[in-house]
Amino acid sequence: MKNDRPGYEIDEMISAKAIAARVESLAREVEDVFSDTSKLVVVGLLRGSFVFIADLVREIRLPVEVDFLEASSYGDSMESSREVRILKDLRGKIEGRDVLLVEDIVDTGHTLDHVTRFLTQRQPARLKTVALLDKPSRREADFTADYIGFEIPDEFVVGYGIDYAQRNRNLPFIGKVRMA
Q: Which residues bind Mg ion (CB under 5 A)?
A: 48
Candidates 104, 107, 113, 134; catalytic one: 107
Tell whether residue 73 is a contact of ligand IMP (CB under 6 A): yes
Is 107 an annotated catalytic residue? yes
**CB nearer ligand IMP, residue 98 or residue 103:** 103
Stretch that binds ligand IMP, among 16-24, 61-69, 87-95, 98-106 (CB under 6 A): 98-106
Burial class (CB in 10 A: 0-12, 13-18, 19+), 75: exposed
Burial class (CB in 10 A: 0-12, 13-18, 19+), 125: exposed
Tell whether residue 44 is a contact of ligand IMP (CB under 6 A): no
Using CB under 6 A, which of 103, 128, 134, 147 touches ligand IMP?
103
Residue 162 binds which one of ligand IMP, Mg ion, none, with CB within 5 to 8 A depending on kind? ligand IMP
Site for ligand IMP in 105-124 (CB under 6 A): 105-111
Using CB under 6 A, which of 5, 80, 136, 150 touches ligand IMP?
80
Question: Could you tell me how many residues of this chain bind ligand IMP (CB under 6 A)?
Answer: 16
Please state the three-class secondary structure of the chain as a single string.
CCCCCCCEEEEEEECHHHHHHHHHHHHHHHHHHCCCCCCEEEEEEECCCHHHHHHHHHHCCCCEEEEEEEECCCCCCCCCCCCCCEEECCCCCCCCCEEEEEEEEECCCHHHHHHHHHHHCCCCCEEEEEEEEECHHHCCCCCCCCEEEEECCCCCEEECCECECCECCCCCCEEEEEEC
Stretch that binds ligand IMP, among 30-38, 58-66, 86-94, 103-111 (CB under 6 A): 103-111
**CB nearer Mg ion, residue 108 or residue 144:** 108
User: Which chain residues interact with ligand IMP by CB under 6 A?
Assistant: 48, 73-74, 80, 103-111, 156-157, 162
Q: Which residues are catalytic?
A: 107
